[in-house]
Each structure stands twice: as C-alpha cells, then as structure tokens.
Amino acid sequence: MAMLMEISTRDPERALPTLEEYFPGVRMSNPNGDFALKLVAAEVETLAVVKYRLQSRASSSSADMSDNLTFGQVERGTLGLVTTQQQVDTTVPWLFPRERVDAAWDDVIITALTVSRAAATRMARAQIGSDTATLDFLGTAPVDASHARQWAAFVEYTRNALSEEASTLDSPIVRTSAFAHLVGLMLSTFPNTATDAAQVGGTPHTAPSSVRRAVMFIEQNAHLPITVEDIARESRLSIRALQYAFQRHLKITPVAYLRRTRLDGAHHELRRADPTTGATVAGIAAKWGFAHPGRFATYYRETYGVSPKQTLGG
C-alpha cells in the first residue's frame, strides 16, 4: 500500500530530514530568512513521487544524487540546476545527474519521481534480455519533445495513482506492470547505456537524437572554431558522455569526426578552387581549421590518396 506524507514548514531545520529522504545529503542556504516548504509525497516499495513548493527568495541547495534515479519537472516558477560539468535544462523534464548538484530558485513548484537505481537496472536488463547490461545515462534531457510530453504525463498519472486512498498500484500485479512501463518509458526517453547495448549502431541516422544533434552541429559549423565543449553543449551531454556515445554509435571520437568533416570541406573547396586566382593549400587548410600545413597534408593523403596540392592543381 502506498505511503503518503505531507509537510508544511517555514523552518529549514525541520524540512531537511524530509528532503533528505529524497535528496540525500541536501544542504540549504537562505540568506533572506524567508524559507517556506510545502511537500506532498507518495511512496510504494522502490518508487516515490514528490510534489513540493519551495517558496523562498534567493535560496540555494546542494545534494548528492548518486544512489537513486531522480527525475524532475518544474510545474511553476524557475529553477537553476548546475554541476561541476554542466548546466541542466530544467525547462523540460530532466534526470538529476549522478553527482553533486547545486540548485537555486525563488518560488518554484517541482514534481520529482525517484526510483531505486538497482531495481531499475534489474528491470532494464529483463527488458533488453541481458544479464550484464549497465544502466548509466548519457544526458539529463529527453531525446525529443514528444518523449518529454509522454514522460511528464506518465509521472502525473503515477502521482495521482499513488495518492488515491484505494490506489490501483496497491495490487502487486498492477504495480509490477506499471513499474515495467515506467522503466521502458525511461529507457526510450533518456539516452542510456542499457538501450545502447540492445542496439546496433553505425551511422548518424540510427544514432540517438543527442548524437544526431552533435553531428548536425558539427556539419553546420565545421568552418568555425568550435570545440568539443561546444559540441557537448549543443548535444546536451557531458563531454565524457558525448565521447562514449560517439564511440558507441559511430565508432569514432567527436574530435575525429570534426576533423573528418573539416577535411571533407577542405577537399571540396580544393577541387573547386583555381590556383591562378591566388588560392593556396595553406590558405584553404587554415580556413577549415588546419593551422599546420604539413599535418593537414598527411591527413589529406591518408584519406584521399593524393596530396592536397595535386587536388588544387588538378
């Protein structure tokens, strides 16, 4: 049977023990002294849905989210959420990163769904047919807007079901089915390693949307001085997750993909260029981000089998 809990307080010290149940190690700062919390939580076995309002100005907190999988969505107001590596997009449903996070808000209403990482991993393994698959997430944002809407709707359904006095989730059969649906939707909504293990990658067209965003960004901006940090930001992944996703799906690093795209751009420009108008190999190479002509020539010959000078002269 679902356990229900409700708390309303203006005392941060009283609020902390309750918040710590869902946000381990949480610490709060409220320089204006106007803290207020209203929280309603519903919990059953390895799953909990918490809806809370933090009604205070210029407040902030930090927490360690490494043990459970916690997903949030802002119902009203604004929330800033950052880690040492990234700023989390809270305008869409998000997954709290598996590291310490810092939050800042004024007056915000949030719905959070927390699930046991171990239970979710077991269910994910059963669904993809692997006893050894790991469940790590490659980003904090949904793969697209459609999945984000489906996820938000399911979280609201789960919250309502858990809050009913005679909840349908009191039935073990219904609860197991709902949990399986939750994990399946989680795997399709948020890019992860378990889903990767069940897929055969190889091209940008079959890769997750995060990789496709990165590829599109590279191909549209290869002529500009973009960095791997820029690519990660555009794909909504950490640098480490971006590197993993590229290796997993494209069998290449993001830096190597960027170099290959720039090399291709230089190749096409060399073919079109007329050396009698002043076009040079060094100039075209520099335009495409190759500051060292000798290294560019080596990459070029390895890829196209001829020197860039031969292409320009041909």
110 and 163 in a single domain? The answer is yes
pLDDT in tens, 67-124: 789 999 999 998 898 887 778 899 999 999 887 788 888 789 999 999 988 899 988 8
> Do the domain assignments include residue 249?
yes
215 in the same domain as 118: no
Q: What are phi and psi of 102, to 5 degrees?
A: -115, 135
Whether the full predicted model's pTM is greater than 0.75, yes or no, is no
Is residue 196 in some structural domain? no
**Is the same domain home to 111 and 147?**
yes
Q: Which of 189, 220, 251 finishes a domain?
A: 189
Give yes or no: residues 246 and 154 share one domain: no
Answer yes or no: is 248 within a domain.
yes
pLDDT for residue 27: 79
What does the pLDDT look like over 231-275, one tens digit per residue?
Answer: 988 888 888 888 888 888 888 888 888 998 999 889 988 988 888
Window from 59-63, 215-219, 238-242 with minimum mean pLDDT: 59-63
Please give the mean pLDDT across all residues of the chain: 83
Q: Which two tokens stand for residue 140?
A: 């904090």
* Within-domain flag for 198: no
Are 303 and 263 in contact by the 8 Å Cβ rule? The answer is yes
Is 194 within a domain? Answer: no
Q: Which domain holds residue 234?
A: 209-313
